[in-house]
Amino acid sequence: MTTKAKNLIWFVVDQMRGQAVGINGDPNVFTPNLDNLAIAGRNFTQAVSGYPLCCPFRGSMMTSKYAHNHSIKLHEERLDPELPLVNDVFKEQGYETIYLGKWHMAGMKERDGRTVTRTVPKIDRGRFDTWLGYENNNSQWDCYLHGHDGDEDVPHYKMPGYETDHLTDLAIERITSRTDEDAPFFMVVSVQPPHVPGLAPADNRRYQAQQLKLRDNVPASEEANTRIGLSSYYAQIENIDDNVGRVMQTLREQNLIDDTYLMFFSDHGDQLGSQGRFGKCVPYEESLRVPFIVGGGVPRCQQGQGTWNSDCLINHVDIGPTSLGLCDIAVPEWMEGYDYSHQCSDNNTPRAAQARFDAEPDAAYAQLIGDRESSYAWRCVVTRDGWKYACVDGGEWMMFNLKEDPFEQNNLAFHTKYKNKRSEMNQLIRKWADQTGDAFDFPG
């Protein structure tokens, strides 16, 4: 039988694309701790951001509902405090729940003033036992925290030093202060890097722009800007990697490594020059794919048998069910995602679990809702066998065979030779929309 880990940590980063990890093939970045986490645990190499934009993704992360079924459909909208959240389920099972860092679900608008210095009302903090966070901030050396630590209110204070370092310090303090009598814990460490601006501690700035190897889909016209952006992007990721290593080392020192899962993932990626674009919000691979690694209490972590790369299409709505499944907690019916916890099972798990593998979705659904008056709204479906199809309101947009064209340089959506495949993908995306209750004007 597989021994279930007792505690769970989400280490959530912002705007880190799935390709930007050493073990996932990036030739530039130095990520030994994430690589080791993957080698000793499970590396979901095809993980998807079902809504590659901060706020809607986070709403889906917490509710296990697609954005069209929760209250954050656009940027800077508010998470309905009446919605049930994954941490509520953990609390019902006797867990202590802790949230540290970026929230971005209180509906505050940057145009109304800098949100990091404004107070998130307690009703909008998701019912965590401890919530030390901020709504949003894009200045990693000038970041503030506030909230509550148990029953004690914590007024705004400026973080000492670099944001990711301090939030990791807070997580480590809570790990090291635990005793055998304490309840199990569910902890979220949510950091803003590697989101722009590209600021990182001096110790991590090893990346020379002119020496970086660029992805094949960066046009010559954007090479200079891409090199500049990547040099700071990789520095931030290296700092993230350092801090993941600090958390893992603390778990080892506290003899909690076998009793704690650490789940590392990002809300979305960043184009960083690929396809001539920067930022997110598009269904291209650099924006849509995210790193997703589970380590710590994973059985193979103890056995040292090497990396298990999974090609399942774990999505934003699947984070909650998978987290509960890892901790042997029943997944409530209101969650819309799939529980992939069986992917983190011991190889000796009885094959009665085969049904869980057989039932895995063979595709993932992604979206950008837009304002319904803009052609920028889109829907996308990605299949496990390497096809991607995306459309805008009433019109075709893109279709790629990712196995033959991983850099998405040959759009087949308008190629008459592939009209049957396009029809097949159109039917598949409509099926996902019907199943999830998504109203969208798909092309005929």
The count of residues in the chain is 444
Cross-strand partners of 78: 106
Provide CB contacts within 8 A for 348, sequence distance 6+. none
Q: Taking the CB of residue 92, how many other CB atoms lie within 10 A of it?
A: 11
Vertex 436: Cα angle to 75 and 73 (nearest 5)? 10
19 with 259: CB under 8 angstroms? no
pLDDT of residue 303: 44
Domains contained in the chain, CATH given: 7-358 (3.40.720.10), 363-436 (3.30.1120.10)
pLDDT of residue 357: 85
Cross-strand partners of 107: none
Q: Which of 23, 51, 25 is nearest to 39 (CA)?
A: 23
Question: How far is residue 419's CA from residue 415's CA, in Å, rounded to a whole number?
Answer: 7
pLDDT of residue 332: 98
Burial class (CB in 10 A: 0-12, 13-18, 19+), 319: buried
Question: How far is residue 137's CA from residue 116's CA, in Å, rounded to a whole number?
Answer: 5
Helices (H), 208-298: 223-253, 285-288
Classify the phi-psi angles of 25: left when phi > 0, otherwise alpha if psi is within -120 to 50, otherwise beta: left
- Order of strands, edge to edge, in the sheet holding 387-392? 363-368, 378-383, 387-392, 395-401
Q: What are phi and psi of 310, to 5 degrees?
A: -105, 135
Per-residue tens of pLDDT for the chain, all 444 residues: 344 458 999 999 999 999 999 999 999 999 999 999 999 999 999 999 999 999 999 999 999 999 999 999 999 999 999 999 999 999 999 999 999 999 999 999 999 999 999 999 999 999 999 999 999 999 999 999 999 999 999 999 999 999 999 999 999 999 999 998 999 999 999 999 999 999 999 998 889 999 999 999 999 999 999 999 999 999 999 999 999 999 999 999 999 999 999 999 999 999 999 999 999 999 999 999 999 999 988 765 444 455 578 999 999 999 999 999 999 999 999 999 999 999 987 654 554 467 888 899 999 999 999 875 555 899 999 999 999 999 998 899 999 999 999 999 999 999 999 999 999 999 999 999 999 999 999 998
Element containing residue 344 per DSSP (H, E): none
pLDDT of residue 302: 43
pLDDT of residue 290: 98
Provide CB contacts within 8 A for 92, sequence distance 6+. none
Burial class (CB in 10 A: 0-12, 13-18, 19+), 101: buried
Question: How far is residue 261's CA from residue 285's CA, in Å, rounded to a whole number?
Answer: 27
Side chain identity, residue 155 = P
Maximal C-alpha separation, the chain = 66
pTM of the model: 0.96
Provide CB contacts within 8 A for 144, sequence distance 6+. 116, 117, 134, 137, 156, 157, 158, 159
Provide CB contacts within 8 A for 251, sequence distance 6+. 175, 257, 260, 262, 296
Tell me the C-alpha to C-alpha distance, in Å, between residue 30 and each of 36, 204, 233, 266, 286.
12, 10, 12, 17, 19
Cross-strand partners of 263: 10, 294
